[in-house]
């Protein structure tokens, strides 16, 4: 599994806080309902952008000791 440094797609900051773990998103598209796999939600501490990652995501930044 490839590890990558966390980077906000909006402001390019590498600092984020965990906003939620084991989050499942549900929704409806046309006539079908769906439920995602469990996600980890991170929120950029600089601009507030929310990033969603599945369980396979691993980061090399020291600030995130998620696992």
Residue 66 has a pLDDT of 43
> What is the per-residue pLDDT across 5-61, written as a single tens digit (0 to 9) for each?
788 999 999 999 999 999 998 999 899 998 888 999 999 999 999 999 887 776 655
Residue 67 has a pLDDT of 39
Asked whether the predicted pLDDT for residue 1 surpasses 60, the reply is: no
> In the chain, what's the furthest Cα-to-Cα distance?
43
Q: What whole-number distance in Å separates Cα of residue 42 and Cα of residue 23?
A: 11
Residue 57 has a pLDDT of 73
pTM reported for the whole predicted model: 0.68
């Amino acid at each position: 599994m490839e590890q990558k440094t966390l980077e906000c797609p909006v402001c390019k900051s590498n600092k984020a806080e965990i906003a939620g773990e084991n989050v499942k998103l549900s929704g409806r598209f046309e006539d079908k309902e769906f439920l995602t796999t469990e996600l980890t939600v991170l929120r950029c501490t600089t601009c507030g952008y929310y990033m969603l990652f599945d369980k396979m995501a691993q980061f090399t930044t020291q600030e995130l000791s998620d696992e």
